[in-house]
Structure 1
């Protein structure tokens, strides 16, 4: 797909040039002084960094067209909310954000602040992208739940001036079973929504046409791969991953700076709608056919299967065929024939630990030559809670000069067993490479008592000290490790003893085997109190853990010392 990212309709060139000039002028007139609060607030004047060969997907929107209207030169000082029935000024200086849309952005920011605090996502960035992508859901044309009144669809990505992305969702989201189209207020293409979609309004669905779902998905998309959006480079990389265009970056940054200076809400449906697009087209009151997702539009008149049953009119003379555009040069992605494992070692770790080995995948041509600057998407699947560093189940990395993409480190959760990681080429239907990773249960290789005090008791009494042990694994604390404690017959006979010391269950009954034990965060395990029956002698308590660590503890039951004491004392009754 990267082969087509640069194939924009040339008729938008003039619009883009004018927009870029206006952005520069805007930055010069509005740029704030450098302050300690300026991180992540870089205006367009500073957005001259080259487009990176990012470890970003670059595929949120399929590089669909976007709105190029610039923010007003006047700062959007908050103004009193209009009363019901009062017309809202639609001038640029009153470019407020529809109330439900604004609420969705702020709720998404709050959720990301909790789930990914290191990302530092500002809601103003979501607002800037929402403005550039859909004019804040076409001026806030949403219902009470945040779903757009009618679908917002980008053009068919058929390679005719745009990326070529054949249908990936069977028309589920965009109603198009031939090509994909960007969908919803944040303009996700279906193939990206399939893994990036989120349920932002808690209704159990992930709907790209719902502004709460779309805003939360956009937040997680921008925050993936451990990006910190308070850093200028990370901010630019995140925006470029949404739409890989320097002009797009400039426009988003200009709106971000504008909204950072303040904004206000306006009633839903009363927001201003942009009027210029990057492809040179003129937006209509509704940019999309009002068909429900999953339904194809009515066939065009004269198309086979069209009409209402009446005879078709006589065909008009066919217009001359337009000239065939020249074939664009191949990109690195176009040359990839297959993927190959790049000597990835065995992937295994204990629950709760990071994998020490990382997955490497090499992109190669048919002749076996390595291909650099190709985006490889790594996707985790299976019954697992393992993630990549940063908490995501999908990561995209560009191949290096040797054609190798190294996936982010894997982090195991608490679920044990095997799961799969699949590497695929972004934008090209090349067979993926599967990797199997294994998560084993937490283990300890050493158990030691935390005290050397002898454990003794008189017949029928209780031991004064409880048994406490510490588990370690390769010298480190072994936390949350499963353990079992059993009072055994002897070193050679580890079956449960039927006499001597014992534990008590919740009902006070005798128990000589304890299961379901677990070390704490410090690797410590403290056993319940031990009691003795009337049998005297030396007894053994064996503690075993996952991973093979075993400790045997001696317990002595003996009658009280009956030797004469210095002063007589009454006999015990």
Structure 2
């Protein structure tokens, strides 16, 4: 009862005061918009977002949210975030269901390892989780953290909300006409596509799973290198989730509330908030419309008996002038997006892409539109990212209408993927770019010494074979290689006699696979042994990309003449690998 009374009081006269204190404690004000420059750095501005600010440039598409505020009587700090208060009772109104609380805390812990500079508190995830879904509708989740039924926001069809046409063919929200916010953290499908994460390790990225959604929300809030221990960055991050000052103040109020202590309650026992931002509450229940304050009432007109009232001249209607047409914003004037001359996107694993993606925003007549935002998102099964480590970046078009994405950085995974460029703030056809990550290659191999490699029959070679790989004259690190003892220069099949390596069971092995150059481009082969057959033998080393080196090995008794030497092949670079 006290919690309910506190909430009602807070919603009344105390709302402005307490919310203002929460915001003041964190230097509250409207947070800036965010843009990424050509180096992947974030920049901000203190200006309030313009009416052209896009709904789909937020996690939720600026969907409705719960507006209730914390009770004035904060829970007593408990020994750990997950116990009862000092009196042994729990508060279902402001408590957090056990599984949902665990998801918030696990997500923050993972981000502390992967993005320690973000300094995200789990209480921030809890504050957003409360405001977005009431902690998954009071913790109605299964043991894996998946909601027992889908949590969907209203259709974003422009009728009182933003207008976001369908982007996922209904895959996430079941709506093939318009998008809806989905799951306990209320991601719209277009944002989940690049922001989604697998938080519970089941191999899926499900916006309806609280572990996946909490981790995705944490990564979303930590992008652009934001440090959430800084009040300015904290405001920017929260407003990027839902671009509303009221939303910011509500989240900050719950953040401060949870920082003072929290009750862990059983799943399914939480109280779902009642008030939402899309609900209009009438303050005048009477059907009559009273006079506006400050307007004098008009006394009734009296006419002496038998006197005809004077004729009232007909009212005249002044000529109406049509209001001037509202000028289009830059975003509204964009008709389509075009590729702005992007060349082939290819890089070796671990390298930066030399080419950067350029996209041009144009009017129907083909004129470039400046000062609109283009979002670039990496799509597909790849670990390639933009400079700064994120899979999404936003760039502003210049005076010619062209936006240039930050440089792409290839990861260790090879294969093809796409980068999708979309206009923020209006639904136009996206432009997709194909990119490819190829394996690391070498075009030359050379021994690091010129010492002859000799051994007596049945003995072992004193020196190990050590080679260095290069690509276009530079060190070729991380390049796969194979070493094989071959029959002759013309016959590259594995030899069945002569020198050999040993496996883990000390058995002869004459082919080694899975070799890889180190950071200095070096490979040192295991020790070589000889059987009882004297002669001259060949060891051939081949790398990805086709670089080949043939090394001569001699097996002879001490003092004996060197047996006849078969034709050898000098180190020869192969042709450069096809991009």
Q: Secondary structure at the match of 1:223?
A: helix
- Alignment partner, residue 333 of structure 1: 331
CA distance in 2, matches of 1:351, 1:160: 47
Q: Is the 8 A contact 2:77 2:260 kept in 1?
A: no
Q: List gaps (5 residues or longer) in structure 2.
A: 1-10, 37-41, 43-53, 283-322, 562-579
Aligned residues: 489
The offset of 1:76, in angstroms, is 4.2
Q: Is the 8 A contact 1:504 1:511 kept in 2?
A: yes
> Does structure 1 residue 66 correspond to structure 2 residue 82?
no
> Does structure 1 residue 503 correspond to structure 2 residue 500?
yes
CA distance in 1, matches of 2:372, 2:226: 20
The offset of 1:243, in angstroms, is 0.9
- Alignment partner, residue 108 of structure 2: 109
CA distance in 1, matches of 2:460, 2:90: 81
- Alignment partner, residue 437 of structure 1: 435
Using a 3 Å threshold, how does the CA distance of structure 1 residues 117 and 405 change in structure 2: closer, same or farther? farther
- Alignment partner, residue 557 of structure 2: 559
Q: Secondary structure at the match of 1:192?
A: helix
Q: Is the 8 A contact 1:502 1:511 kept in 2?
A: no
The offset of 1:389, in angstroms, is 4.3
- Alignment partner, residue 125 of structure 2: 126
CA distance in 2, matches of 1:515, 1:171: 47
Q: Secondary structure at the match of 2:68?
A: coil
CA distance in 1, matches of 2:28, 2:373: 27
Q: Is the 8 A contact 2:378 2:391 kept in 1?
A: yes
Using a 3 Å threshold, how does the CA distance of structure 1 residues 337 and 520 change in structure 2: closer, same or farther? same
Q: Is the 8 A contact 1:22 1:70 kept in 2?
A: no
Q: Once the two structures are superposed, what CA deviation does each residue of 1:385-415 show, in whole Å capped at 9, x if it has no partner?
A: 4333455544444435553333333232333
- Alignment partner, residue 568 of structure 1: none
The offset of 1:183, in angstroms, is 2.9
> Does structure 1 residue 155 correspond to structure 2 residue 154?
yes
Q: Once the two structures are superposed, what CA deviation does each residue of 1:62-92 show, in whole Å capped at 9, x if it has no partner?
A: 1112233344556543258559xx97557xx
The offset of 1:242, in angstroms, is 1.1
CA distance in 1, matches of 2:259, 2:399: 39
The offset of 1:156, in angstroms, is 2.5
The farther-off stretch of 178-187 and 158-167 is 178-187
Q: 2:29 aligns with which of 30, 35, 47?
A: 47
CA distance in 2, matches of 1:173, 1:114: 29
1:301-312 equivalences in 2 (<5 Å): none
Using a 3 Å threshold, how does the CA distance of structure 1 residues 365 and 266 change in structure 2: closer, same or farther? same
Q: 1:482 aligns with which of 476, 480, 483?
A: 480
The farther-off stretch of 164-173 and 344-353 is 164-173
The offset of 1:263, in angstroms, is 2.7
The offset of 1:106, in angstroms, is 0.8
Using a 3 Å threshold, how does the CA distance of structure 1 residues 59 and 545 change in structure 2: closer, same or farther? same
The offset of 1:463, in angstroms, is 1.7
- Alignment partner, residue 352 of structure 2: 354
Q: Once the two structures are superposed, what CA deviation does each residue of 1:196-246 show, in whole Å capped at 9, x if it has no partner?
A: 344444556554344333222322332345544344444333222211223
CA distance in 1, matches of 2:201, 2:492: 53
Q: Once the two structures are superposed, what CA deviation does each residue of 1:263-299 show, in whole Å capped at 9, x if it has no partner?
A: 332344554554543344369xxxxxxxxxxxxxxxx
CA distance in 1, matches of 2:484, 2:246: 70
Q: In angstroms, what is the RMSD of aligned CA positions? A: 4.1
Using a 3 Å threshold, how does the CA distance of structure 1 residues 463 and 132 change in structure 2: closer, same or farther? same
Using a 3 Å threshold, how does the CA distance of structure 1 residues 183 and 256 change in structure 2: closer, same or farther? same
The offset of 1:535, in angstroms, is 6.4
- Taking structure 1 as the reference length, what is the TM-score of the superposition? 0.72
> Does structure 1 residue 363 correspond to structure 2 residue 361?
yes
Q: List gaps (5 residues or longer) in structure 1.
A: 1-14, 32-42, 284-324, 564-573
- Alignment partner, residue 20 of structure 2: 24
> Does structure 1 residue 220 correspond to structure 2 residue 216?
no
CA distance in 2, matches of 1:146, 1:524: 47
CA distance in 2, matches of 1:169, 1:244: 23
Q: Is the 8 A contact 2:196 2:205 kept in 1?
A: yes
- Alignment partner, residue 384 of structure 2: 386
CA distance in 2, matches of 1:403, 1:521: 42
The offset of 1:163, in angstroms, is 0.4
- Taking structure 2 as the reference length, what is the TM-score of the superposition? 0.71
The offset of 1:254, in angstroms, is 3.3
CA distance in 1, matches of 2:191, 2:12: 26
Using a 3 Å threshold, how does the CA distance of structure 1 residues 369 and 246 change in structure 2: closer, same or farther? farther
1:74-223 equivalences in 2 (<5 Å): 76-79=75-78, 81=83, 88=90, 95-142=94-141, 144-148=143-147, 151-169=150-168, 171=170, 173-174=172-173, 176-202=175-201, 206-223=205-222
> Does structure 1 residue 260 correspond to structure 2 residue 269?
no
Q: Is the 8 A contact 1:375 1:426 kept in 2?
A: yes
